[in-house]
Amino acid sequence: MKIIEIPDKKIVYSGIQPSGTFTVGNYFGAMKNWVNLQEDYHSLFCVVDLHAITMPQNPEELRRRTYESIALLLALGINPDKSILYVQSMVPEHCELTWILNCCTYMGELSRMTQFKDKSQKQGENIRVGLFDYPVLMAADILLYQTDLVPVGNDQRQHVELARDIAIRFNQQFGHTFKVPEAYFGESGARIMSLQEPTRKMSKSDDNLNSFISLLDDPKTIIKKFKRAVTDSEMAVYHDREKKPGVSNLMEIYACATGNCLDDITTEFEGKGYGDFKAAVGEAVAETLLPVQRDYHRLLKEKDYLKQIMRTHSEKASMMAWKTLAKARKQVGFVTV
């Protein structure tokens, strides 16, 4: 039996799928908060390849992207001496707890998930069971580690709510087993929108490459994409998500990249045109990403180091996960000999 003490500090848990290149939406919505929170919390960050295969993936590409994801998270500032950074499929406890939680989750709850409704349309008639069950796997991820806080973007709010409902239901039925987690959203950036259709979320799987900024885009491309970003005809920089979704989105991105507040940004661009504003946003984002890209390309060449992180950190995660899983197994009535 594996035994490890769960640390005294509160626990932060989050994950990202290794599908597509990460965008500034992922960074400002989630990973930037991960980097900050790891200073004060015991943190686990997971590259969720089990989630990725709920949509069709090319196996070689998935493997490559898993390495790239670990390298990019390290380059963004996840500190492997402070946080556990691991790969989901290397910790088998996730699948076992998912099965147990499947048995106390309702079909109706999963049918209401908006992300399932959106993504299932792309799978046509043969919708995979894995896609339907995805939120239960996500609940298992979170609940296995007795998580306090889950830093995510707004699109994951409903999934975290479901994880809470499942934890409460399980605890009521079988006795206290899981901590009930809270979602955590940063002050800005929880909802970064597409540059081309600013009423839709910026997504790494969007077919229109101009709609998102990849964390690996070079400065010229970044500046060009911001220049082409959809705005409006009013020519005034102020924040109003309803009336000015494009400009408001660019302001939020600028706020995330510079740390300036929205009021200061309005003052900075008073009397200036959108040309100046878009150029400033592009430059600020390019400047933020340049050192990250440099570190990423260096780390990607250190395959042995990446493998070592994946191996040792997955072992650490597995030891923590086992402690909760063993309790859940006992509570539902499985035999231990």
What x-and-dash track marks residues 84-123 binding ligand TYM by CB under 6 A? ----------------------------------------
Among 73, 136, 149, 152, binds ligand TYM (CB under 6 A): 152
CA distances from 24 to 21, 224, 311 (A): 10, 15, 28
- The CB-of-272 to ligand TYM minimum distance in angstroms stands at 26
Return the residue of 143, 192, 222, 255 that touches ligand TYM, per CB under 6 A.
192
Region of 151-159, 235-243, 300-308, 313-321 interacting with ligand TYM (CB under 6 A): 151-159
Given 75, 150, 251, 328, the residue binding ligand TYM (CB under 6 A)? 150
Strand partners, 184: 151
Q: What distances in angstroms separate CA 78 from CA 119, 222, 252, 257, 319, one per listed residue?
A: 30, 24, 23, 18, 21
Q: What is the distance between the alpha carbons of residues 287 and 86, in angstroms, rounded to a whole number?
A: 28
Residue tagged active-site, from 10, 82, 204, 227 = 204
Window of 11-19, 222-230, 305-313, 324-332 that interacts with ligand TYM by CB under 6 A: 11-19
Contact string 48-87 vs ligand TYM (x = CB under 6 A): x--x------------------------------------
Is 119 designated active site? yes
Query: Candidates 3-11, 104-112, 166-174, 188-196 — which segment interacts with ligand TYM by CB under 6 A?
Result: 188-196
The answer to whether residue 196 forms part of the interface with ligand TYM (CB under 6 A) is no
Interface with ligand TYM, residue 202, by CB under 6 A: yes
Told to check if 179 binds ligand TYM by CB under 6 A, we report no
> 70 vs 138, which CB is nearer to ligand TYM?
138
Q: Which of 119, 179, 244, 278 is catalytic?
A: 119
Q: Which of 32, 179, 201, 323 is catalytic?
A: 201
User: Which part of the chain contacts ligand TYM (CB under 6 A), choosing from 24-32, 54-62, 224-232, 246-254?
Assistant: 24-32
- CB contact set of 59 (below 8 Å; sequence gap of 6+): none
- What is the CA angle 322-326-330, rounded to 5? 170
How many residues touch ligand TYM under the rule CB under 6 A: the total is 24
d(CA 132, CA 130): 5
Q: Is 16 in the site for ligand TYM (CB under 6 A)?
A: yes
Q: Which range, of 68-76, 122-130, 146-154, 303-311, touches ligand TYM by CB under 6 A?
A: 146-154
Q: Assess whether 201 carries a catalytic annotation.
A: yes
Closest-approach residue to ligand TYM (CB): 29
What are all long-range contacts of 55-63, with beta carbons under 8 Å and residues at least 24 apart? 55/19, 55/119, 55/122, 55/123, 55/131, 57/19, 62/18, 62/19
**Residue 30 engages ligand TYM in binding (rule: CB under 6 A):** yes
DSSP-assigned states of every residue in 231-279: --SS------TTT-HHHHHHHHHHHHHH---HHHHHHHTTT--HHHHHH
CB of 267 to ligand TYM, least distance (A): 25
The rounded distance, in Å, linking the Cα atoms of 284 and 279 is 9
Distance CA 291, CA 69 (A): 16
Neighbour-count burial for 58-97, b at 16+ CB within 10 Å, e otherwise: eeeebeebbbbbbbbbbbbbbeeeebbbbbbbbbebbebb
Q: What angle do CA 160, 12, 296 make, to 5 degrees?
A: 105
Other C-beta atoms closer than 10 Å to the C-beta of 297 total: 12
- Is 117 labeled as catalytic in the residue annotation? no
Q: Give the catalytic positions in this structure.
A: 119, 201, 204
Instruction: Note the residues at the interface with ligand TYM (CB under 6 A).
Output: 13-17, 25-26, 29-30, 48, 51, 138, 141-142, 150, 152-153, 155-156, 190-192, 201-202
